[in-house]
Every structure is written in C-alpha cells, then in structure tokens.
Amino acid sequence: MPRRNTRRNESIVTVPVPADLKHSFESAAAAVDRSADDVLRDFMRAFVRERSTAAEEHDAWFRAQVQAAIDDPGPSIPHEEVVRETRALLDRLAAEAAGRAD
C-alpha cells in the first residue's frame, strides 16, 4: 500500500527517473547526511526562489524602461507612423525571404 502523507500542507510528488540515477542521488544525499527527500525539497525551494527573483528583476527592469520612455523629453512618434514603418520593414523582410526561397 502506498505511503500516505499525514501533513495537511504537503503533497506527494512522483517522478519517474532511471533507477541508477535514483540510487546515485540517494547515495550522494546520504554522503552529506541528508535524505533524498530533503535535498529535493531544497532544489525545489531554490528553483522557485530563483524564478521569483528573476521575475521581480525583469519587472523592475521593464518598469524602469517604461518610466525612461515616459520621461524622455524627445518628441514622441505617432502610433500610425510606427505601424507604417513596422509594416514596411516586415514587408521588406518577407520579400527578401521569398527571394531566397526561390
């Protein structure tokens, strides 16, 4: 019968891995007096923390870029002009790509 988790805040994660990897991982964890479960929890926490930090750093960078654009004293480019220039660029790139495909 599968082991049941008795803690309310926890859940069981089942991940298929090659048997030799599992045994090597358990041995490596035991060598530093840790259970494989504890090491996996640490990996998971570190991964979540890194992703959270990366997202926060990207958000801060993006907000700074937006604020810099807002604060820029230079003249604004009308939306219609940006769309027209972008469409022309995309059309030119598509034509170049079509010419290479021939």
Percent of the chain with pLDDT over 70: 92
| CA dist., res. 91 & res. 9, Å (int) | 55
**CA torsion through residues 82, 87, 92, 94, sign:** positive
| CA dist., res. 81 & res. 87, Å (int) | 10
pLDDT category, 4, cuts 50, 70, 90? low
Q: What pTM did the predictor assign? A: 0.52
Parse the chain into domains and list their residue ranges.
Answer: 19-101
> Quick check: 10 pLDDT over 90?
no
- The model's pLDDT over 83-98, given as tens digits with 9 standing for 90+, comes to 999 999 999 999 999 9
